[in-house]
Amino acid sequence: MKSLGEKPEVEEEVLDTASKKVKVAEKKVEKRKTETPKTNTEDDHVEEEQHGEKVLVMPGDIIGTTEEFEAGDNTYIVRGDILSLATGFVMVNKKRRTISVKPTTSMPPTIKKGDILIGTVVNVRDSMALVQIEGIKGVVDRQFIKPGVAAIHVSNVKESYVKEMSKEFAVADVVKAKVINIENMRMTTSGKELGVMVATCANCGSTLKKDDQVLKCAQCGRTESRKISSDYGTGII
Ligand code: ZN
């Protein structure tokens, strides 16, 4: 098999299939000899080939059509398209004309304590702000398991005492926060670079500009208070 690696692609494919057929035949002989029951999965594995480049697909990705293939393991059909049900690599069984997804053993990253998250404030209460998580710093957004909503408790907003949460956060603010507890998804914005990244004017809806320690609206002149990140307005995560 190794020596075939340098041959042109088309030729390799033909030879590859032929050698695989031999292997299947050998397997069948072996099966008769030993009378050990073997599962179909094992034969399928021999027939299956990686489909094209080794591309990682995610649940919902279109991997083929029902005109080309039959939907195999870890796939489903929507209006003639075959989609992946799993995170993994696309496999094609040329003999049966099935396309399937071989799940990867390593799952997309889940959120860990200490991760820096980006999210949108969805609720501000006296004791906490609730944040819809949109991304993890340093992780491609589609490749992580979204935890939903996380909370920033009034005691974790900043180093100094917070009297009113409404002076630290507002609904629709984009915030950068650090995970401090995974079990109940608690975050902190204590720290220079953590806090509100983007906020809009409660009066006219314009994006607020950072003006020293407060946020100002260039349109209507309104001033608002927030726990501002040192990266406010820069887009830097
Ligand atoms: Zn305004």
DSSP string, 175-201: EEEEEEETTTTEEE--STT-EEEE-B-
107 — pLDDT class (breaks 50, 70, 90)? low
Spacing, Cα 220 to ligand 1 middle (Å): 4
150 — pLDDT class (breaks 50, 70, 90)? very high
CA distances (Å), origin 132, targets 23, 176, 200, 231: 52, 11, 17, 20
Q: Lowest mean pLDDT of 26-35, 75-84, 208-217, name the range.
A: 26-35
pLDDT digits (tens, 9 = 90+) for 62-104: 999 999 999 999 999 989 999 998 888 899 998 899 999 988 7
Spacing, Cα 206 to ligand 1 middle (Å): 5
Distance from first CA to last CA of the chain, Å, rounded? 47
Mean pLDDT, residues 28-55 taken together: 50
Q: Is the pLDDT of residue 43 over 90?
A: no
Spacing, Cα 201 to ligand 1 middle (Å): 5
Alpha-helical segments (H) within the chain = 9-34, 40-47
Per-residue confidence (pLDDT) for residue 40, from 0 to 100: 44
Spacing, Cα 154 to ligand 1 middle (Å): 26
Mean pLDDT over each residue of the chain, to the nearest integer: 80
Spacing, Cα 160 to ligand 1 middle (Å): 28
Spacing, Cα 225 to ligand 1 middle (Å): 13
Spacing, Cα 152 to ligand 1 middle (Å): 26
Residue 212 is encoded by which pair of tokens?
Answer: 């020293």
Q: Is the pLDDT of residue 19 over 90?
A: no
Single-letter amino acid, residue 65: T
Per-residue confidence (pLDDT) for residue 45, from 0 to 100: 47
59 — pLDDT class (breaks 50, 70, 90)? confident
Spacing, Cα 80 to ligand 1 middle (Å): 49
Mean pLDDT, residues 184-189 taken together: 94
Spacing, Cα 134 to ligand 1 middle (Å): 26
> Residues lining ligand 1 (ion), CB within 5 A?
201, 203-204, 206, 217, 219-220, 222
Contact 194, 177 (CB under 8 A): yes
Q: Where are the beta strands (DSSP E) in 23-154?
A: 48-50, 56-57, 62-65, 70-71, 75-78, 81-84, 88-93, 98-103, 116-124, 128-136, 149-153
Q: Which residues make beta-bridge pairs with 130?
A: 123, 151
Of the candidates 207, 65, 58, the residue with the CA atom closest to the CA atom of residue 146: 58
Contact 147, 197 (CB under 8 A): no
Single-letter amino acid, residue 186: R
Q: What pTM, to 2 d.p., does this model score?
A: 0.56
Spacing, Cα 210 to ligand 1 middle (Å): 13
Mean pLDDT, residues 4-31 taken together: 43
Mean pLDDT, residues 133-147 taken together: 71
Contact 167, 196 (CB under 8 A): no
- Cα gap 197→210, rounded to integer Å: 10
Contact 82, 99 (CB under 8 A): yes
Spacing, Cα 85 to ligand 1 middle (Å): 46
Per-residue confidence (pLDDT) for residue 2, from 0 to 100: 42
Helix (H, G, I), strand (E, B) or coil at 11: helix
Contact 204, 189 (CB under 8 A): no
Between helices 40-47 and 9-34, what is the axis angle to 10°? Answer: 160
Q: Is the pLDDT of residue 13 over 70?
A: no
User: How much of the chain exceeds pLDDT 70, in percent?
Assistant: 71
Spacing, Cα 221 to ligand 1 middle (Å): 6
Q: Is the pLDDT of residue 230 over 90?
A: yes
